[in-house]
Structure 1
Amino acid sequence: MSLPFSAHIPFVEHLGMTLERFEGGESTVRLQPRPEHRNSFDVTHGGVCMTMLDVAMATAARSVQPELGVVTIEMKTSFMRPARIAADAPGGAALEARGRLLHRTSAMAFTEATLYDDAGRACAHATGTFRYVRRAQASVSAPQPPLPTD
């Protein structure tokens, strides 16, 4: 069962990503790759994979403090195998990214996520650092006062 994203994210909606889990420092996002998500090797483009990992980590960070937004400070991604859906996979087959909050302070979240293909094989893994921001800050370009630190 898909959950609503608590923030309007046009790019995520454009890709067709769904939120499947959002609780206790964990999240799961899914995507059924379409032809336009593929690269020249006919597998899911690395940028789509990285976006899924970024969103999985961000939602894991937000799941413990949903009234705040997060912005990506740093992200490292390792690709292990092509992210593809088998040609004979059932119609609902999807890529799945599972995010986990590893540690947080009042201002920062340290996370990881793994992207799996339709057979449950790990395709990519990422770690990321996110800054918690008040929702109004996320849409304002002027400098904002910092959140309190631990």
Structure 2
Amino acid sequence: MSHPSIQSGFIDHLGIELIRAAAGESELRLPLAAHHMNSWEVMHGGVTMSLLDVALSLAGRTASPEGSGVVTVEMKTTFMQPGQGEMRAFGRVLHRTTTMVYCEGEVRDAQDKLVAKAMGTFKYLRRLAVGREVRQQRPRVAPPGD
């Protein structure tokens, strides 16, 4: 099976680095910078959830049929304590079917303290329609006398 990569401008912008992803497991690294922080000067919850989403989805992709990607269907995150310094995220597949994969993961700081934990459900997709035109339907206006 091929080694999954992270190909996302958003993930690149955050600075998330892939350490490993194979056999239903993943590990990521994120050295926190000023733009990752909230007003309390600790890792923003959205950054934490993004890190977990990537870790879980990469773990799921390594257990997928060749060529499949995943999209997040649901993810529950529990925040344990503030994150500071260098973060590590880990993802692991719990169960998979032909169309879905169920994963868990966590984020730990440089002292190996548990920062957050998550469980997620992901759907396998062959390919997303990218760049297609999306038209907004206009509400039907009834002609006078209707």
In the alignment, is the contact (CA less than 8 A) between 1:99 and 1:114 conserved in 2? yes
SS of the residue corresponding to residue 81 of structure 2 reads coil
In 2 relative to 1, CA 5–63 (structure 1 residues): closer, same or farther, beyond 3 Å?
Answer: closer
Give the Cα–Cα distance (whole angstroms) in 1 for the partners of residues 60 and 75 of structure 2.
14
112, 130, 136: which one pairs with 1:139? Answer: 130
Give unpaired runs (5+ residues) of structure 1: 86-93, 143-150
Give the Cα–Cα distance (whole angstroms) in 2 for the partners of residues 73 and 24 of structure 1.
21
C-alpha deviation, 1:64, in angstroms: 1.9
Q: TM-score, normalised by structure 2?
A: 0.83
In 2 relative to 1, CA 121–138 (structure 1 residues): closer, same or farther, beyond 3 Å?
Answer: farther
C-alpha deviation, 1:15, in angstroms: 0.4
Bigger Rg over Cα: 2
Question: What is residue 89 of structure 1 aligned with on the other side?
Answer: none
Question: What is residue 34 of structure 1 aligned with on the other side?
Answer: 33
Question: What is residue 126 of structure 1 aligned with on the other side?
Answer: 118
Q: Which amino acid aligns with 1:78?
A: T
SS of the residue corresponding to residue 47 of structure 2 reads helix
C-alpha deviation, 1:98, in angstroms: 0.2
C-alpha deviation, 1:139, in angstroms: 2.6
Give unpaired runs (5+ residues) of structure 2: 134-146
Give the Cα–Cα distance (whole angstroms) in 2 for the partners of residues 138 and 53 of structure 1.
25
Question: What is residue 90 of structure 1 aligned with on the other side?
Answer: none
Of all paired residues, the percent bearing the same amino acid is 44
Give the Cα–Cα distance (whole angstroms) in 2 for the partners of residues 56 and 105 of structure 1.
19
SS of the residue corresponding to residue 57 of structure 1 reads helix
Does residue 1:6 correspond to 2:2, yes or no? Answer: no
Give the Cα–Cα distance (whole angstroms) in 1 for the partners of residues 131 and 123 of structure 2.
15
Q: Deviations over 1:9-43 (max 9, x none)?
A: 11000001011111110001110111011000000
- How many residues are paired up? 130
Does residue 1:98 correspond to 2:115, yes or no? Answer: no
In the alignment, is the contact (CA less than 8 A) between 2:6 and 2:18 conserved in 1? no
Q: TM-score, normalised by structure 1?
A: 0.81
Q: Deviations over 1:38-67 (max 9, x none)?
A: 000000101000000000000000012252
In the alignment, is the contact (CA less than 8 A) between 1:37 and 1:44 conserved in 2? yes
Q: Give the aligned CA root-mean-square deviation in angstroms.
A: 1.7
Give the Cα–Cα distance (whole angstroms) in 1 for the partners of residues 37 and 43 of structure 2.
4
